[in-house]
């Protein structure tokens, strides 16, 4: 039975971070132990805190510390519009454009069969239920204009239209292959205002 040292264990654990291979994990462990023990302590506590406090909003599926997030709980949003985005960052970017005042649904991903991400992984059952609450009149698909984002918009759009919902897609103001997270606010605002109905 081989027992790992505390250092080996730390290096191994750091590899759960995306994009961190064996060499980076080692470099990180050395750095933390030698130069930033306070940072390491803070990271450990933040991880514990985040794990115990952060869940998904029952309505929009975004990360939230309460059952229903502040945005969904706010009485000031237009309940007739539901905007579907891939990631929480996309929601934050759209909020910054100040062109949209409806509700959101965060897929937490995009369809990607090769990576094992299917309809279940992006919570389409919950989205369909949410979109058919009786209040939503228009679903705006604001997934990225990447290959996977487009495929997701198409798939989701077909499902929603089959249920009699009005579906629109933010305008192709983004450059081809562009991701919402990296586009300037002006372009994104244009794309939101020029959204087109899917038929």
By beta-carbon proximity to a second copy, the closer residue of 35 and 101 is 35
Residues 6+ away with beta carbon under 8 Å from 101? 76, 77, 78, 81
Q: Cβ 73 to Zn ion, closest distance in Å?
A: 7
Q: In whole angstroms, what is the distance from residue 116 CA to residue 11 CA?
A: 27
Site string for Zn ion, 145-184 (x = CB under 5 A): ----------------------------------------
Q: Of Zn ion, a second copy, none, which one sits near residue 43, judging by CB under 5 to 8 A according to partner kind? A: a second copy
3-class SS shares of the chain: helix, strand, coil, % to 5? 45, 15, 40
Asked if 63 and 56 count as a contact pair (C-beta separation under 8 A), the reply is yes
Stretch of residues binding Zn ion (CB under 5 A), selected from 15-23, 46-54, 71-79, 81-89: 71-79
Q: How far apart are CA 3 and CA 171, in angstroms?
A: 57
Length of the chain: 199
| Smallest separation, CB 44 to Zn ion (Å) | 26
Give kind and range of the element (H or E) at residue 23: helix 22-35
Cβ neighbour number for residue 182 with a 10 Å cutoff: 11
Which partner, Zn ion, a second copy, none, binds residue 29 by CB below 5 to 8 Å per kind?
Answer: a second copy
Task: List the one residue from 72, 131, 136, 167 that touches Zn ion (CB under 5 A).
Answer: 72
Could you tell me if 149 and 176 are in contact, meaning their C-beta atoms sit under 8 angstroms apart?
A: no
Q: What residues line the site for a second copy (CB under 8 A)?
A: 5-7, 9-10, 12-14, 16-19, 24, 26-34, 36-37, 39-51, 53-54, 63, 65, 87-89, 108-109
Minimal distance in Å, beta carbon 148 to a second copy? 16
Residue 26, binding choice from Zn ion, a second copy, none, Cβ under 5 to 8 Å by partner class = a second copy
Q: How far apart are CA 120 and CA 118, in angstroms?
A: 5
Interaction site with Zn ion (CB under 5 A): 57, 59-60, 69, 72
């Amino acid at each position: 039975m081989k027992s790992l040292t505390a250092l080996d264990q730390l290096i191994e654990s750091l590899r759960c971070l995306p994009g961190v291979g064996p060499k980076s994990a080692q470099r990180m462990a050395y750095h933390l132990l030698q130069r930033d023990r306070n940072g390491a302590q803070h990271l450990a506590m933040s991880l514990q805190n985040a794990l115990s406090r952060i869940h998904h909003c029952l309505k929009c599926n975004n990360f939230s510390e309460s059952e229903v997030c502040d945005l969904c709980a706010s009485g000031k949003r237009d309940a007739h519009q539901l905007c579907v985005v891939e990631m929480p960052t996309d929601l934050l970017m759209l909020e910054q454009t100040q062109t949209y005042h409806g509700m959101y649904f965060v897929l937490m991903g995009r369809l990607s069969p090769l990576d094992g991400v299917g309809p279940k992984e992006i919570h389409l059952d919950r989205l369909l239920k949410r979109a058919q609450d009786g209040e939503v009149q228009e679903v705006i698909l604001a997934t990225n204009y990447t290959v996977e984002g487009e495929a997701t918009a198409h798939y989701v759009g077909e499902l929603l239209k089959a249920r009699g919902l009005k579906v629109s897609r933010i305008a192709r103001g983004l450059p081809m292959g562009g991701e919402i997270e990296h586009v300037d606010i002006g372009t994104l605002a244009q794309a939101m205002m020029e959204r087109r109905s899917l038929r």
